[in-house]
Amino acid sequence: MPAICVQHLRKAYGDLHAVDDVTFDVERGEVFALLGPNGAGKTTCIEIFEGFLRRDGGDVTVLGVDPGQRHEQRWLRTRIGVVLQELAVESFFTVRQVLERNAGFYPAPRPVDEVIELVGLREKADDKIKKLSGGQQRRLDVGLGIIGNPELLFLDEPTTGLDPAARRTTWELIRTLSSEGTTVLLSSHYMDEVEALAQRVAVLARGQIVASGSPTSLGGRDQGQVTVRFQLPHDVAVTDLPIAPSHVDGANIEFNTDDEVVVLNRLTHWALEHNFALAGLSVTRETLEDVYLALTHQSADPSEEALHE
Ligand code: ATP
């Protein structure tokens, strides 16, 4: 049985359909990412799965039980870990005190020192929470999420506000948990994070799932065009190239193709034959972010975004 099973989930706030007929499964042991722009309905979904929010319709099972049933919630909360978007602990405690206190809520918690080590707070273990930096507080959030040794971990934007090194530490931690068999439901706005961690993703837009699949195949990404770029060698004319490029900008040459193997073969064969270097040679597909923005009809250009409103 999947860790999370969602069928035709609905939740409205007044006239606003925050979650509108959402169906998906999260398999046990996988890292599953829920993507979507601000207000798409991710947190609403996650709070329903955690048993913190009542749904209006549809079926949900989390670790085999209905999180909407009050009598299941106590059991469920000992099996799940939650990292919310904001820290919700008393700031006059030290890191160690709050972890020790929360460890007492669970039947089989992880050792406190192990958690302090895993989230990289050893040097801050006896500091008061109010003295931690924003990024250190976020690491403590993750520590509080895993102190109960959960089967299923909900991570709502776990690396927002972290510096690049701390983000990587958190990624390593998520990989470690995943390799131990923990199921992770991740919400994130960072596509590199999703690509690095998630086996599957679902994209929410305006309360509905608009695409799902692996990060490499989302929205047909693995079948889209490939761009091959390099710089034209000195003393070589564009007309000397063995195939006509799609774009030329000074010495910058670009080929857009469905068949990168043939294009690369002809170009590299030609370059080797004439002893030319193909400076800056790169082969790129559409990024996950390109696909995501197209799926959610967002644009980097605010004037274009306004056209979709
Ligand atoms: P973000 O990426 O900004 O965290 P999200 O995808 O998590 O966004 P939700 O927080 O689930 O989005 O919100 C979905 C929609 O429901 C938004 O339009 C939001 O304004 C609305 N909403 C959320 N909570 C409430 C509430 N308690 N009362 C009324 N509207 C709400």
Structure token digits, residue 229: 């770029």
Q: What is the pTM for the complete model shown? A: 0.84
Determine which residue's CA is closest to atom 10 belonging to ligand 1: 43
Of 62, 57, 138, 65, nearest in space to 95 by CA: 138
**pLDDT, tens only, 258-271:** 899 999 999 999 99
172, amino acid identity: E
Cα 39 to averaged position of ligand 1 atoms, centre (Å): 5
Q: Which of 11, 42, 46, 157 to mutate to test the pocket of ligand 1 (most atoms within 8 A of CB)?
A: 42
C-alpha 13 to ligand 1 mean position (Å): 9
- Supply 275's token pair: 């002893």
What are the pocket residues of ligand 1 if the criterion is a CB atom closer than 6 Å to any ligand atom?
13, 16, 18, 36, 38-44
124: CB partners within 8 A, 6+ apart: 95, 132, 136
Checking if the pLDDT of 298 tops 90, the result is no
Cβ neighbors of 129 (< 8 A, separation 6 or more) are 87, 89, 90, 91, 92, 93, 94, 95, 98, 137, 140
- Reported as a single tens digit per residue, the pLDDT across 72-124 is 998 999 999 998 877 667 788 999 999 999 999 999 999 999 999 999 899 99
Segment 11-56, tens digit of pLDDT = 999 999 999 999 999 999 999 999 999 999 999 999 999 999 999 9
First to last CA, the chain: 40
**How far, in Å, is the centroid of ligand 1 from the Cα of 84?**
14
Cα 32 to ligand 1 centroid, rounded to whole Å: 20
3-state secondary structure the chain: CCCEEEEEEEEEECCEEEEEEEEEEECCCCEEEEECCCCCCHHHHHHHHCCCCCCCEEEEEECCECCCCHHHHHHHHHHEEEECCCCCCCCCCEHHHHHHHHHCCCCCCCCHHHHHHHCCCHHHCCCEHHHCCHHHHHHHHHHHHHCCCCCEEEEECCCCCCCHHHHHHHHHHHHHHHHCCCEEEEECCCHHHHHHHCCEEEEEECCEEEEEECCCCHHHHHHCCEEEEEECCCCCCHHHCCCCCCEEECCEEEEEECCHHHHHHHHHHHHHHHCCCCEEEEEEECCHHHHHHHHCCCCCCHHHHHHHC
pLDDT at 141 exceeding the cut of 80: yes
Q: Per CATH, is 4-79+151-219+290-308 categorized as 3.40.50.980?
A: no
